Structure 1
Amino acid sequence: MPVVAALYEFVVKGRKRLGYRVQMDTTATNVVETDDPGVFDQLREPLVDPTLVLLRIENNGQTHIDEDDYAVLHEKKAGVTITFPDRKVVGMVVTELSDDGMRSAFEDGGGLAVQKNRILLPKVPMNRGAHYKVLAALDTDDGKRDFYAPPKVACTIKGGVTGGKIQETRSRMGTPKRVIALIGFLVAIVIAQLVVFTQSNNGAPLDCASGHVNVTGSTAFAPIVQEAAKSYQDLCPGATFAFDMRGSGEGLQFLDQAGRDGKADGQLTFSDGEKPSGMPALLPRPIAFVLFTLVVNGDTGVSDLTIDQIKQIYQGKISNWQEIGGKNLPIRLISRNPGSGTRNAFQRRILGGIREPGTNSDDCHNRDPGSPLGVVRCARDSTDAVLRTVADVPGAMGYSELGAATDRKGLTAIHIDGHPATVVEADHGTYPFWETEFGYTVGEPRANSLAASFLRYLTNQVGADIIRSHGDRPCAELANPQLCRPT
Structure 2
Amino acid sequence: MTLPDTETLLAAAGLVVTAVLWAVERFLPGRKRIGYRVQMDTAIGMNPRDAHSLVQLRLLRRDQEITDATLALLRFENDGGKDIVRQDYQEPLTVEFTGRTVIGVEVPDANPPDLAGMLTRNGGGLRHSGGRLVVPKVPLNKRNHFKLLVLLSADEGSGGGNDLPVGIVGRDAASGTRRAFETTVLHGSEPGTVSSYDCSGKDRDATARVTRCEVNSTGSLLDAVGRVPGGIGYAEVYAAAKHPRVVGIRLNGREPDIEWGGQRNYPFWTVEYLYTYGQPEEGSLAAKFRAFMDSDTAKNILGKYRHVPCADQSAAPGSACHS
TM-score range, shorter chain: 0.3 to 0.5
TM-score by length of 1: 0.32
TM-score by length of 2: 0.46
Q: Which of the pair has more CA radius of gyration?
A: 1
Q: Larger % of strand: which?
A: 1
